Chains A and B, each alone.
Chain A
């Protein structure tokens, strides 16, 4: 069994490395590669938000804030902390790619850690609230994070933060997207994940069963923020430039839309919705000014026609597909 897992892991790495080599060779239109990478970021954000909205049933509209915390701390790390470290450890002797990877990993750790810390700071007080009030509180915190960033001159303030070295690539974005899907799916099958589902279905019943509701909610919130921060760190080192405006509440809402359209609680649904919702605006690009009108009209229509989302809480996997197929065969 373990051998199968190792093999699977190696296969994923090889596949991603092969794709990376293909994209780096310039044979593929760079625009397609860029869209693919943006899809990876959307997947990371949707899957991480799905943990708190889909699994735990706690509605949060501040996800872009944690994404921003991750992106800015990671960016600040490589811009301000990395040069002295490089000098002190004489890292210049390392080959360039290794040095870049080392700094990328360190920046990801910094971004993830600070986003988790922000998640804890936001989650502890606000998860006492429920329903709409929780949504409003997280919206407030998300906007506060953006306003604070906008007022920090060291990271460019309202002008944006430029000059972040570009260390990340398709390989890293895709690898972390796959890793987050894996984490989310394992979480759903774990003790902690089951507790979250119980809280989502009925908080009172869950607490009567001995589940520490607050602890599980806050833990899920911190995990969700940490993953968003990790995505942010990768994003900072992909774009090389960050702008506070791109982390406003509209961005949070875009991520929520992905989760809701995918079907809340379904990780595979979130993945597919994230990809579709990143592709649709790109595909509509030919329509120029009608693009966003059609996009928003489609969104409203979709909610009217299929309010439960694409998948509901159903997960796409070999097991569920096989179960479905067998059920169909049993029918006379």
Chain B
């Protein structure tokens, strides 16, 4: 039982990071009907940005490891950098294809993904880099043999706060209302005077910033950064978004948590060889039983 609880805690830690990445997928899909394959690589770039920002801070003499405030600065820096990257990707690669067939857009997204991976390999080298310890690890809760470290608590708490912040942005601000309008009906939204391009840009910035936040948080726990680190989390977060009903923000969060827990459980109780398999098994079952996901509204897709 205690082992189960420990696994649950570890699963929730991974799951909250998946949830943050999944939010980016789900928002972009909701608004553009595009599976943004480059999102996992934006996550990777976010991790490198956080690495560099904390490096610069240390070089500038800031006591990075002493106060969580500096970790926060590193995360915000990474979020800003990734937001800019998301904006540029949308502006340069996706916007010219706004009226093109969706498959073309998908291939472009794949191209952007490959491009980011290779540019990262070129610029930062292919060998893994280790992330500095921003927040020294310590156990804050211990019940029996179940432990929760401060890092794990921070990952879960910050993810929750960011997800709630997103919820507020989408449901309580005028740009959020515009986002919902564009995702509901782009042409009608444009006729109502909403600047569709600006809303789409904003969505990309928001989603990319969340991915960078996830990257910084995960780096607390898993301090290795490589150019291809975004591929598997990206794929899994995407599955999480589908699981929750793509286009649905609550769904993406729930899907991310389920995904993280399922993955950790299969490693704990099954075989670690099936770590990647369980994710896709869940995906297939969901798609066959309830294609619109756990929280998606049933829609018939037009070709």
Contacts and interface: CB of A to CB of B under 8 A. Distances in A.
Contacts of A132: 33, 35, 102, 246, 301
Interface in A119-165: 125-126, 128-133, 135-137, 139-141, 143-144, 147-148, 150-151, 157-158
Interface in B174-204: none
B122 A290 contact: yes
Given A140-B280, A151-B271, A296 B114 contact: yes
Contacts of A202: 303
Given A296-B111, A297-B115, A137 B284 contact: yes
A133 B291 contact: yes
Contact of B115 (A128, A203, A293, A304): A293
Interface stretch (A168-176, A188-196, A252-260): A252-260
Contacts of A143: 235, 276-277, 280
A140 B282 CA distance: 9
Contacts of A77: none
B60 interface: no
B30 to A, nearest CB: 12
Contacts of B114: 292, 295-296, 299
Interface string A224-264: 00000000000000000000000001000100110010001
A178 B107 CA distance: 27
A303 B288 contact: no
Interface string B99-126: 0111110111011101101110110000
Interface of A: 59, 125-126, 128-133, 135-137, 139-141, 143-144, 147-148, 150-151, 157-158, 202-203, 249, 253, 256-257, 260, 264, 289-290, 292-293, 295-297, 299-300, 303-304, 307
Main secondary structure of the interface of A (DSSP, over half): helix
Given A144-B280, A293-B118, A150 B273 contact: yes
Contacts of B35: 132, 135-136
A260 B97 contact: no
Contacts of B96: 304
B17 to A, nearest CB: 20
Interface of B: 33, 35, 93, 96-97, 100-104, 106-108, 110-112, 114-115, 117-119, 121-122, 235, 238-239, 242, 246, 271, 273-274, 276-277, 280-281, 283-284, 287-288, 291, 301, 303
Nearest to A130: B301
Contacts, number: 119
Nearest to A309: B104
A147 B276 contact: yes
Contacts of A148: 277
B202 to A, nearest CB: 23
Contacts of B276: 143, 147
B239 A140 contact: yes
Given A131-B102, A143-B235, A293-B122, 7 more contacts: A59-B103, A140-B284, A147-B273, A260-B104, A296-B118, A300-B108, A300-B115
A307 B110 contact: no
B291 A129 contact: yes
A17 B43 CA distance: 51
Contacts of A289: 121-122
B39 to A, nearest CB: 14
A259 B281 CA distance: 27
Nearest to B282: A140
Contact of B119 (A128, A249, A264, A293): A293
Given A126-B287, A133-B301, A203-B303, A253 B97 contact: no
Contact of A307 (B100, B238, B271): B100
B242 A303 contact: no
B288 A126 contact: yes
Name the residue among A129, A131, A292, A293 with the largest chain B CB count within 10 angstroms: A293
A304 B276 CA distance: 33
B116 to A, nearest CB: 8
Contacts of A292: 114, 117-118, 121
B241 to A, nearest CB: 10
Q: Nearest 9 A-B pairs (CB), nearest first?
A: A147-B277, A296-B114, A299-B111, A296-B115, A300-B111, A292-B118, A140-B280, A307-B104, A140-B283
A147 B280 contact: yes
A158 B277 CA distance: 14
A290 B122 CA distance: 7
B16 to A, nearest CB: 23
Name the residue among B35, B108, B121, B239 with the largest chain A CB count within 10 angstroms: B108
14 contacts: A126-B284, A132-B33, A136-B35, A140-B239, A140-B283, A141-B280, A143-B280, A144-B280, A151-B271, A293-B118, A296-B115, A296-B118, A300-B93, A304-B96
